[in-house]
Amino acid sequence: MPDTATLLIHCPDRPGLVHDVTGFISSHQGNIIDLQQHIDAEQDTFFMRLEWSLDKFTLEKEEIGARLQPMARRHQMQMRLSFASQRKRIALFVTKENHCLYDLLARHEAGELPVDIPLVVSNHETLRPAAERFGIPFHCFPITKENKAAQEAAQIDLLRKERVDTVVLARYMQIISPAMIAEFPNRILNIHHSFLPAFVGAKPYHQAFQRGVKIIGATSHYVTADLDEGPIIHQDVMRVSHEDDVSDLVRLGRDLEKTVLAKALWWHVRDQVLVFKNKTVVFD
């Protein structure tokens, strides 16, 4: 399958931006496969995702970034260039709940996630059999209040060694330190077991049950230093009724968590998410 390149752009809005970008691609015999754009009128900011085939492109991949720089400087563009052939390397972080882990590993085994998963990291041994069932190395870092900083430093060293570029918190019940966040800016995905910002914290389904809610939800977002306040990638909801007890809400909520996290990761690995300030533009 021919390789493709994807360019994500944001810059101050002005006339001629689409013309200049597409003109650069066509001038080097590139065939544009997908182009999406968005203008935030309030911020006066232009956003674009452009994907093109490299089959007959006259520039080598190593040249493209440098050749784009004059246009980037001219338009004050922030750019991110990626290639379909360079698969992202994903680390899955888990604790004891297995539903998101099993879902992502099954999708990966079925070829539905175009990524490499070199390892699973946990603070408990509980899910080692699950990872090993899929042939994925499992690394356990027991964490206490006293050793948390040292264990996270060891985790970062391991992720560097394995050339991991994205971390997925698949129900990892630990607060991520600023050091880890700085190592992977906008590259740590979390699944939150509620429709943020409602019912944050412990036992959200119990809180929802006590309030008699008619909708439950799940939220996937990038992790920032502000707990559960990072840029939201995807959310979904499900209707429930007075007949559903807490166990029903937990069961239904887990289904939401799996699909919301999987879809957010799909968009992330396909470079369809552009973070601007504390919001995302998702080109879906």
Which residues does the annotation mark as catalytic? 228
Using the structure block, give the residue that is written with the tokens 């552009």: 274
Sheet strands (E) in 123-165 = 138-140
Q: DSSP secondary structure string, 177-194?
A: PHHHHHHSTT-EEEEESS
Q: Which long-range contacts (CB under 8 A, 24 or more apart) does 128-134 make?
A: 130/98, 130/101, 130/102, 130/105, 131/101, 131/105, 134/105, 134/108, 134/109
Q: Would you tell me how many other CB atoms lie within 10 Å of the CB of residue 197?
A: 11
Sheet strands (E) in the chain = 4-12, 31-40, 45-53, 78-83, 88-94, 115-122, 138-140, 166-169, 188-192, 215-222, 232-239, 273-276, 279-282
Using the structure block, give the residue that is written with the tokens 């699944």: 191
Q: What share of the chain is helix, strand, coil (3-state, %, to 5)?
A: 35, 30, 35
Q: Would you tell me how many other CB atoms lie within 10 Å of the CB of residue 168?
A: 27
Using the structure block, give the residue that is written with the tokens 């093109």: 52
| DSSP secondary structure letter of residue 241 | -
